[in-house]
Amino acid sequence: MTTSFLSEVKRQPESRTVKLVWSDGFTGECPYDTLRGYCPCAGCQGHWAQEIQYHAPAAAVEPLRIEPVGNYAISIHWSDGHATGIYRFDYLRDLCSRQEEVQ
Ligand SMILES: [Zn+2]
């Protein structure tokens, strides 16, 4: 588990990605659809999910608002009305790292 925290979160509508910069310099760009599809809340993942799975959003979504949760996570208010996902910093970092492997 990483101890670094997010120092910058920036929406980039041109590329439909969110830029995430960590305190140790690690930088990632995560597509909106990826973030929404990997929403970690129980409503999206199910209460008994063993492993987080990707659920493709029904329609293109945008993050309307991104807010800090304590000093360990952010919450994202999506354009489809969904806002219960709490994205922990280490979870986001994991998502960003996976994203780079795919490219
Ligand atoms: Zn969710």
pLDDT at 55 over 80: yes
pTM: 0.89
Q: What tens digit of pLDDT does each residue of 61-99 get?
A: 999 999 999 999 999 999 999 999 999 999 999 998 876
Token look-up 């910093």 returns 89
The Å distance, Cα 100 to ligand 1 centre, comes to: 23
CA of 43 to the centre of ligand 1 (A): 5
Measured CA to CA in angstroms, residue 87 lies from 14, 29, 60 at distances of: 23, 15, 19
CA of 81 to the centre of ligand 1 (A): 10
| CB-CB contact of 99 with 27 (8 Å) | no
Q: For residues 6 and 89, is the Cβ–Cβ distance under 8 A?
A: yes
Buried-state track 70-96, b at ≥16 Cβ within 10 A, e below 16: eeebbebbbeeebeebebbbbbbbebb
Q: In angstroms, what is the span from residue 53 Cα to ligand 1's centroid?
A: 11
Q: What would the CATH number be for the domain defined by 6-46+55-102?
A: 3.30.2020.30
Rounded average pLDDT over 48-65:
90
Q: Where do the structural domains in the chain lie, given as residue ranges?
A: 6-46+55-102
Give dist(CA 97, CA 91) in Å, integer.
Answer: 10
- Whole-number Å distance, alpha carbon 55 to ligand 1 midpoint, is 10
Kindly give the distance from the C-alpha atom of residue 76 to the centroid of ligand 1, in angstroms, as a whole number.
10
Q: Could you report the per-residue pLDDT of 7-43, keeping only the tens digit for each?
A: 999 999 999 999 999 999 999 999 999 999 999 999 9
